Structure 1
């Protein structure tokens, strides 16, 4: 066991508009602003060191960074970039981080909040099966207003994997 590893501190997410993304996460997932690392009122960070450190193309620049917190679990660090070489959000079938899952108590309520905040569900909530099955255990993939994929997941019933796993998933 590695005593140096504690878990996920935050998840970085690039968004087209920092303020609109903050509003979405606030309305949909009860997030709050913790702090702004880099404000839009500051000069755009387009130095070679910034581009190398972040691994972004030379024609892109860092516009703003904000750390938001959810009621439980890791934070989300929102990034806004400017420049002509920015691609849209990836689909779950593309290489890279596919989605972020948010555990909720009431999946119907959570989906309604995501939609009221401008997001869209891909399909209705679906029962979890196999080693994750249980009464009320469901998931629902949704898209943020800018097209990134999020998952809402609820498992009020203990999941069958617990009977055979050496450790349980981190849980709030």
Structure 2
């Protein structure tokens, strides 16, 4: 049984080292729109630890919420008031993650990112067999080191022909 009243995902939350840089990055390159921002926020009791699973004296400088075209994106900027890990996990780490964006033209999108000085990892890979046959993908790096991905499958993926479970299709 699922959670009673469950509808759909509301937002994805990310902690970034510089909120203004992240807002600019997501606005300029992806067309996300800033809805609001607020902060700072801290607590003198254990609220931060109990509610957010961070150090009790951690301080949030600012929080922003952006319309990310289908889901909302919540961005957090914490202060350096307490010791914390400042390295982004990679995909092999527990908690590793990436954010993927569908593009219609992989070559044009990769060229655009490279011309903007954004690090693209390797070359686009075209999947030629298995359930993702027909998909091309490539990873790139946000300015603060978070891994992101471009994906494209204009003619669909192989599993779409054979599977009764449908995935969200951004095309």
Name the TM tier (shorter chain): 0.7 to 0.9
Q: Which moved more, 1:43-52 or 1:7-16?
A: 43-52
Q: Separation in 2 of the partners of 1:82 and 1:54? A: 15
Query: Contact (CA 8 Å) 1:51, 1:61: kept in 2 or not?
Result: no
Q: Which position in structure 2 is the counterpart of 1:73?
A: 70
1:82-133 Cα distance to aligned partner (Å, 9 max, x none): 1242221111110014211111212233334444555311111111342122
Counterparts of 1:136-155 in structure 2, within 5 Å, are 137-155=135-153
Q: Count the aligned residue pairs.
A: 165
Counterparts of 1:87-106 in structure 2, within 5 Å, are 87=85, 88-106=87-105
Higher relative contact order by CA 8 Å / sep ≥ 6: 1 or 2?
Answer: 1
CA-atom RMSD in angstroms: 2.1
Deviation at 1:8, TM superposition (A): 2.0
SS in 2 for 1:132: coil
Q: Which runs of 5+ in 2 are unaligned?
A: none
Query: Contact (CA 8 Å) 1:118, 1:144: kept in 2 or not?
Result: no
Query: Contact (CA 8 Å) 2:36, 2:64: kept in 1 or not?
Result: yes
Q: Which runs of 5+ in 1 are unaligned?
A: none
Q: 1:31/1:113 Cα in 2 relative to 1: closer, same or farther (>3 Å)?
A: farther
1:138-165 Cα distance to aligned partner (Å, 9 max, x none): 1111111100111111110121101221
Deviation at 1:7, TM superposition (A): 2.6
Q: 1:143/1:45 Cα in 2 relative to 1: closer, same or farther (>3 Å)?
A: same
